[in-house]
């Protein structure tokens, strides 16, 4: 490209910040617009697998992440009915097999790390309290109209627009005409707990995954091991946008009343539960329209049963930046190449996450068969199932329409 118009990125979550960094690392100027204050600290803990940690190293984010992320020794899968251990995966085996570490971190800490790294780049300009309200394509790029907090209107010009505005993306629905995210019938309840308050019966050093009919629970250390992240996912007739709806602790404790004692003790320690509706997006709908592209949850919001939501946003960013840099042709061609390179893999991940949701919440004979298979499966064979996910590398992707 001969123009020096910036690539505009809408949204400063992990996906948008990753896109800004990846694009800037290829030498393109970036204008990042966020409707809230930057950085916005929302969300729960997240797991970052080797298919993303390589990119975070390349973008220079690693020093910031290493201070607060935790690399647990094991991922422990347990029965939420009997408390029995079903399987274990060694994270050192993950690192050895895939050449990059697996770690857990609070979403806000990842966002802060990405933000601090982006703020060091001379090619990235970040502006907050600017909500994209209108998009107009031109011969040379795009023009976006933003609404400021005081109601003032302001216009920005760019070579392209990357919409990383999340699961409730207005650009996806208003500009693309794609369907909104759909409620899955499940809610996620989250809380963080100081480690000194975690019951001694809970393995606080590792990732714990507990499976039970119509519910499962995940816990792991975050914030350099000083806090525990707890997420309980239940089948529930409830739907509301946002991350910060207050949850009824009494209802949740009653829902888990028959679970193993260590889980009941863990849940009883918190009153300040927040919950949100788990929603998914059909990833087969268009991601690119002219000089506008969707990225991350805006394109393919997925259920968290593969712990790949944030990771897919990071993967998207890496391939988008490569497409802008390496694909010959117009901006439309470059963005189309990004979509073509990403869509099949993302659809496979989305489908696998849905399948895992059904497996996690099995009951009766199906749950018994699942538990037996997990207990009998060698650890190496269990880990081998993740080769196609964790073994992915951006440099292996080939572009072609």
What pLDDT does residue 379 have? 84
**Do 51 and 389 meet the contact criterion of CB atoms below 8 Å apart?**
yes
Ranges of the chain with pLDDT below 70: 1-3, 39-43, 239-244, 401
What pLDDT does residue 150 have? 82
Residue holding tokens 């480690």?
A: 195
Q: Is the pTM here over 0.75, yes or no?
A: yes
**Do 108 and 401 meet the contact criterion of CB atoms below 8 Å apart?**
no
What pLDDT does residue 149 have? 77
Cβ atoms within 10 A of the Cβ of 253, count? 16
Nearest CA among 40, 41, 33, 37 for reference residue 133? 33
7-181+281-394, which class in CATH? alpha beta
pLDDT in tens, 177-209: 999 999 999 999 999 999 999 999 999 999 999
What pLDDT does residue 136 have? 96
What pLDDT does residue 269 have? 76
What pLDDT does residue 148 have? 85
Beta bridge partners of 128: none
**Do 249 and 136 meet the contact criterion of CB atoms below 8 Å apart?**
no
What pLDDT does residue 2 have? 42
What pLDDT does residue 238 have? 73
- Domain spans of the chain, in order of start: 7-181+281-394
**Do 102 and 95 meet the contact criterion of CB atoms below 8 Å apart?**
yes
What pLDDT does residue 22 have? 98
Q: Any idea of the CA torsion for 197, 218, 64, 55, to the nearest 10 degrees?
A: 170
What pLDDT does residue 56 have? 95
pLDDT in tens, 278-287: 999 999 999 9
| Structure tokens that stand for 34 in this block | 């966020």
């Amino acid at each position: 490209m001969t123009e020096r118009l910036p690539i505009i990125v809408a949204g400063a979550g992990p996906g948008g910040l990753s896109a800004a960094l990846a694009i800037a690392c290829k030498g393109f100027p970036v204008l990042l617009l966020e409707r809230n204050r930057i950085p916005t600290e929302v969300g729960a803990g997240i797991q970052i697998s080797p298919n993303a940690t390589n990119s975070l190293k390349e973008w220079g984010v690693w020093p910031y992440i290493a201070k607060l992320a935790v690399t647990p020794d094991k991922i422990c899968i347990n029965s939420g009915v009997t408390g029995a251990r079903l399987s274990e995966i060694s994270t050192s085996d993950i690192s050895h097999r895939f050449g990059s570490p697996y770690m857990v971190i609070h979403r806000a800490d990842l966002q802060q790390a990405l933000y601090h790294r982006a703020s060091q780049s001379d090619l990235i300009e970040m502006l907050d309290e600017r909500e994209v309200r209108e998009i107009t394509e031109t011969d040379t790029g795009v023009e976006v109209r933003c609404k400021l907090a005081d109601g003032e209107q302001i216009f920005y010009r760019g070579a392209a627009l990357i919409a990383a505005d999340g699961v409730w993306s207005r650009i996806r629905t208003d500009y693309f005409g794609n369907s909104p995210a759909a409620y899955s019938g499940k809610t996620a309840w989250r809380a963080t707990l100081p480690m000194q308050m975690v019951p001694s019966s809970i393995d606080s050093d590792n990732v714990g995954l507990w499976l039970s009919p119509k519910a499962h629970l995940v816990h792991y250390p975050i914030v350099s091991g000083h806090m525990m992240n707890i997420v309980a996912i239940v089948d529930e007739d409830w739907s509301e946008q946002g991350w910060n709806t207050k949850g009824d602790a009494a209802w949740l404790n009653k829902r888990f009343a028959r679970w193993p004692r260590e889980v009941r003790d863990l849940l009883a320690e918190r009153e300040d539960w927040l919950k949100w509706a788990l929603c998914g997006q059909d990833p087969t709908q268009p991601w690119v329209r002219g000089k506008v592209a969707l990225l991350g949850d805006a394109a393919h919001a997925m259920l968290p049963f593969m712990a790949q939501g944030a990771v897919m946003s990071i993967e998207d960013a890496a391939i988008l930046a490569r497409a802008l840099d390496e694909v010959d042709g117009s901006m439309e061609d470059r963005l189309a190449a990004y979509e073509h390179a990403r869509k099949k893999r993302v659809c496979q991940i989305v489908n696998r996450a849905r399948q895992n949701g059904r497996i996690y919440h099995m009951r009766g004979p199906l749950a018994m068969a699942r538990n037996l298979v997990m207990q009998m499966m060698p650890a190496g064979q269990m880990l081998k199932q993740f080769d196609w996910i964790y073994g992915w590398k951006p440099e292996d992707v080939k572009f072609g329409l």
